[in-house]
Structure 1
Amino acid sequence: MGAKWIKIAVLYFALGIGYGLFMHYTIQLKWAATHAHINLVGWVSAAIIGLIYSVYKDAGETTLAKAQFWLFNIGLPFLLLGMIFIYVDVPRGVMEFCVSGGGSAVALSVVLFVVNVYKNIKPKT
């Protein structure tokens, strides 16, 4: 799973750079929170998780790790879209669904990650 996380992370990295350029050239700084989430949650968090699962391969191959991967990578795009929808004319219910649903999925994936780390990563002797 480590390699999958790292590959997803670099996609978020490219998206974050592109989004930052969009903000710069349009001088639309109201999008800063979304930009930060793309870079910190998408790029940095996913990359660190990928590195951890590359070092501790057994933890990266558990059912918890697989469920975490899918929850994170389905939830985060919804969260990011919802954050964009805050400033775009869409029905409030759509925005709330994306922010709440996506955010909850990402939060649950973090809980699964914590459980997986404590359950399956042992000190090396």
Structure 2
Amino acid sequence: MGAKWIKISVLYLVIVLAFGLFMHYTIQLEWTATHAHIGVVGWLTTGLIGLIYSIYKDAAETGLAKAQFWFYNLGLPFLLVGMMMVHIDVPNWLFELFVSGGGIAVAISVLFFFVNVFKNVRS
């Protein structure tokens, strides 16, 4: 499970670098919050979860870990697209659906991770 998380984190690294270049060359710096979330929640947090699951393989193979994986990796793209909608003319309900739906899915995933770590990570 750890390797899957790490591979997905590298995908977010490519996305955050491309997004940063887009912001630089178009001088559209209003996307800074989205850029930061792609980097911190996409690249760094996803990679750290992958490292933790690579070290603590028992925790990585639980049902909680599998549920966390799907909630996180389905919710995060919705959250990030929703954050981009702030600067695009879309109906408010659509913006809220993406940001709230994606954000809640990521938050549930983090709760699963929290419980999983405290239940299954041992020295």
Q: TM-score, normalised by structure 2?
A: 0.99
Q: Please name the residue that 2:51 is paired with.
A: 51
Distance (Å, rounded) in 1 between the aligned partners of 2:25 and 2:111: 37
Q: Please name the residue that 1:67 is paired with.
A: 67
| Long gaps (5+) in structure 2 | none
| Long gaps (5+) in structure 1 | none
Distance (Å, rounded) in 2 between the aligned partners of 1:110 and 1:24: 32
Q: Please name the residue that 1:85 is paired with.
A: 85
Distance (Å, rounded) in 2 between the aligned partners of 1:70 and 1:7: 15
RMSD: 0.4
Dislocated runs of 4+, deviation >2 Å:
none
Q: State the aligned residue count.
A: 123
Q: TM-score, normalised by structure 1?
A: 0.97
Amino acid at match of 2:21: L
Give the 3-state SS of the residue equivalent to 1:86 in structure 2. Answer: helix
Tell me by how many angstroms 1:9 deviates: 0.3
Amino acid at match of 1:79: L
